[in-house]
Amino acid sequence: MKKVCSPYFDPDFDDLPERIYGPPCRVCIDNDSMEDSTIVKVDSVNKQGLLLEVVQVLTDMNLTISKSYISSDAGWFMDVFHVKDEHGNKLTDQRVINTIQQAIGTKKVSPRSAQPKLYSNEAHYGSEHSTDHSTAIEMSGTDRPGLFSEISAALVDLHCNIVEAHAWSHNARLACVAHISDESTDTPIDDPNRLATIEDHLATVLRATTAVSWSGTGTDNQEVKTGEFLGGESTMTNVERRLHRLMVSVSDFEESPGEIEGDLNSSGFNVDGGCDDQEGKRTVVSVESCDEKGYWIVSIECKDRRRLMFDTVCTLTDMQYVIFHASIGTRDGYAFQEYFIRHIDGYAMNTESEKERVIKCLEAAIERRVCEV
């Protein structure tokens, strides 16, 4: 009798996709070690942008990160977050804990998403990434008193509903992400001719600033162009990431010749702006070299507030820096952050101008929001 051979299956075959593409993040929620906070531990194969994705998940859930330790050397990402809910308590709702584990545990960063783009345009339109019943608009440029009211009035004149809008004003520049719909049908606007008309009207409004000359900042020519609206799902952190990028595109990190106070209370806009520390403490950002390891060490001291870590990690990531190690802590209402970084090409900063740009961009990212009491 002939021996019957069964098909051979490699026992490691099922693990092959995981070894090629990397496993999902492993997430552990520890609610016992600390009395006043919940510890979220994350480990995974490291990819550029993964840290920001994890911070985005925690920030989207209105959690405050009071302390964090980050290490991603040798291609492996290990992070520990001490988090609290919006009332300053540790997490007790099992549904929230399950959501964190599911949201972070499925995060993978594709090579395409690791290459963010910065726009120099003043407005971008698109409906594929906006909310279900609206079209997204991005605007950026020079701020002036009454500008938000003029933008709102222009959209109303064009028979557009403002479904939702978020705007930042900092250093006499503005950035706005708005969602609009057709006034009569309450549906997204996707007709190219109508979008071109909206673009032309908004360009006229944005170009009307005459009081300030932006010599050398790249904002003299305020052209408005249509383009792809990036940002993925319409979560608050994705909108805020777009606002950060738009602010950088109009060089709000550069000193203005005389800051113009914008109309920050215009109807229909959710506006965030910078403000000074009531105790007179200033934001301090420094950059030092760590020659023996080939890193640059970025140190930040500023008043603590919600979403602070998102703002700093977002800025470094969008500037194409990789965070290899980090330590974040808070004390007496003040935050202390330290990042060990290299450029995405593997090199540390090469020039004083690059170092100066990192400092200015981080300072601007911290100061763009209104102070939270």
Cα–Cα distance, 324 to 320 (Å, whole number)? 13
Arch. (CATH architecture) of 284-368: 2-Layer Sandwich (3.30)
| Residues written for the chain | 373
Residues of the chain with CATH 3.30.70.260: 18-105, 135-207+221-230+245-250, 284-368
pLDDT value, residue 282: 80
What's residue 272's pLDDT? Answer: 46
Q: Please give the Cα distance from 232 to 224 (Å, whole number).
A: 22
- Fold of the domain spanning 135-207+221-230+245-250: Alpha-Beta Plaits (3.30.70)
The residue with tokens 């952050």 is 337
Topology given in CATH for the domain delimited by 18-105: Alpha-Beta Plaits (3.30.70)
Tokens of 49: 């942008």
pLDDT value at residue 291:
78
Residue-level pLDDT, tens digit, the chain, 373 residues: 545 444 444 555 445 445 445 556 789 999 999 999 999 999 988 888 889 999 999 999 999 999 999 998 767 889 999 999 999 999 999 999 999 999 987 755 443 333 333 333 345 554 444 456 788 888 888 999 999 899 999 999 999 999 999 999 999 998 988 889 999 999 998 898 998 899 889 988 988 754 443 333 344 435 343 333 433 445 677 889 999 999 999 999 987 655 444 444 333 344 444 445 545 568 899 999 887 788 999 999 999 998 999 999 999 999 999 999 999 999 999 999 999 999 988 877 778 899 999 999 999 999 998 644 4
Helix or strand run (H / E) with residue 56: helix 50-60
Report whether 312 contacts 365 (CB < 8 A): yes
Which residues does residue 176 pair with via DSSP β-bridges, in sequence order?
A: 139, 167
What are the distances in angstroms from CA 249 to CA 4, 126, 325, 344, 369? 69, 19, 28, 20, 17
